[in-house]
Structure 1
C-alpha cells in the first residue's frame, strides 16, 4: 500500500526494473511485472488512514472465513474482511504480536517464493519464533496433510516453512529456551530479487529512497535493505531461492 501510487510505481521501476499494469481491483491498484510475469501488487492508501506504508504478504487459503475464525479464536486481530473481490475474497489480520498479514481465497499465481518472478524470501521477525510457528501453523494449517501442503522445520536458528522442495519463509526471533526478545518490532519482511544489488541501491537513493543496511554479504547472499520514499521497508538480493539445508539466520533487525 502506497500513499502515491504513481510515485511508488516510478520508484520500483527504477530500483527493480518493474513494469505495471492495471489490477482487477480498479484504478487504485496495479500489478507489478518483471519480464512480463506478476511479482507483487501495489495499492493506493487512503489519505485519511494514518498507518505506516509497508509490504504485506498474503497467504493462499481454501477458506478466508475459516482462517479468520481461527485468528479470532486465538485472540489475534482481524482488521479487514473477508471482503469479496473480482476473483476471490481477502482479509487482513495481525498475529498475537501485531505482525500484519493477509489471506486470499481464490485464483492464485502458479509460482512459489524463491522461484522465477516471485519474491526471493519471506521472513517473520518476531519476539518468539516458536510461539509464532504454533499460531501460523494452526491458523493457516501448515503441515496438515491435504491442506496447506507446507512443511515446518527448525534449522540454524529459525523456524523454516517449505513447500516440499525449498524453503519459502523463515520465522526468527528467539532461540530455543530463550526468553522472547522485547526489542524486536514484529513484522513480515520481504526480499525481492534483483540483477545487481549495488545498482538497485544507487537507484533507490536517486529516486528518493534511503538505505537502512548498505550492500553486504548477508545470510541470504549479497543484499541491501532499503526504504522507499513512503517508508516501505524491503531487501534486495541477488539470491532467488535457497534449499532448506542452506538456510541461516538473517542479521539482526532492531529498531534504532
Structure 2
C-alpha cells in the first residue's frame, strides 16, 4: 500500500472467507485523539502502520482488529468507520461495482499485501474491497469470535442484497462463499457459519441525520455496554442511542471527531437482534 490511499491500514486480518468483511477502518482527523478515545472505550492498544505517522493499527489481545487513518481533512473525506470486503480480483470487483451503478472513488491500487479500492454502493453507502496478492496467515479472532459485526442501513434491503451479492459473489455456490437468508424483513449474511452482517431497509439518502442516511454501521463486541458509554462520555464522545434487547444491550456512540459506531454485548449477531 502506498501512502496516497485515504484511511487504509495494511495487511488486514480477514474475519472469515471470500467476499466476507475482512477489515474495518476509521477515517478521522486526529490520530492521537482517536487512539486515546478508543483505548479508553474499547481497551485497544495501537502500533504504527507502515504508511507514515498518520496511520496506526488497533489491536485487541495482541490481534489486529481495525485501522485508523488521520486523513479526513487532507482527502476531504467524512469522518467515518467503514468495512472492507475480501475479493478474489479487485479489478473485476471494481468493474462489477461500476456496472451496477455504484462508484469507485479510489483504486484499485496496491494496499499492503494486496490490492484494493474505496467505493460506494448505488445508495451512497461507502465500503472497500481488498484482494490478497501475497500469501499470509492471518491471526485468529480472539476466542473464535469476529472482531466486528456490520449492519447496512439502506433504502431497500433486498435491492442492496442483490447489488452486493452480484459484486461480491454472495450466495454464488462457490466454496467458502457467504450465504444470504431473510429474517423479519432483513437480509442476513453468514460467512463460514458466523453471522457477520445484516441489511435493513428504511434509510433516506438526503436525510440530515447520519443514522438515517445509507451507511455501513460497525458494531464492536464489549463485555459491559454501560461502562463503554461512561468511558466514551468521559473521553469526549457522545451517546446517540442506547437500547436493551432480548439477549443483551447496545449503545451507538459518536467519538470526539464524529465517527459513528456501536458497542454491543449481544454475541455474534446470533443470539438476538443487535439493532
Quote the residue 2:74 is aligned against: 48
- Offset of residue 28 of structure 1: 2.1
User: Is 1:116 aligned to residue 145 of structure 2?
Assistant: yes
- Offset of residue 160 of structure 1: 0.3
CA distance in 2, matches of 1:114, 1:92: 30
SS in 1 for 2:81: coil
User: Is 1:161 aligned to residue 189 of structure 2?
Assistant: yes
User: Is 1:223 aligned to residue 246 of structure 2?
Assistant: no
SS in 2 for 1:89: strand
SS in 2 for 1:192: strand
SS in 2 for 1:241: helix
Quote the residue 1:185 is aligned against: 213
Alignment root-mean-square deviation, CA: 2.3
Aligned equivalent of 2:41, options 5, 8, 15? 15
Quote the residue 1:60 is aligned against: 86
CA deviations on 1:77-136 (whole Å, 9 max, x unpaired) are 0000011123111100000000000011115745579953611x2000001000000000
TM-score (norm 1): 0.86
- Offset of residue 204 of structure 1: 0.6
In the alignment, is the contact (CA less than 8 A) between 2:63 and 2:141 conserved in 1? no
User: Is 1:3 aligned to residue 29 of structure 2?
Assistant: yes
SS in 2 for 1:139: helix
User: Is 1:93 aligned to residue 119 of structure 2?
Assistant: yes
TM-score (norm 2): 0.81
Unaligned runs of 5+ in 2: 1-26
User: Is 1:171 aligned to residue 213 of structure 2?
Assistant: no
CA distance in 2, matches of 1:136, 1:247: 24
Quote the residue 1:177 is aligned against: none
In the alignment, is the contact (CA less than 8 A) between 1:114 and 1:241 conserved in 2? no
CA distance in 1, matches of 2:199, 2:115: 26
TM-aligned CA distance change 1:195 to 1:29, over 3 Å? same
CA distance in 1, matches of 2:175, 2:91: 15
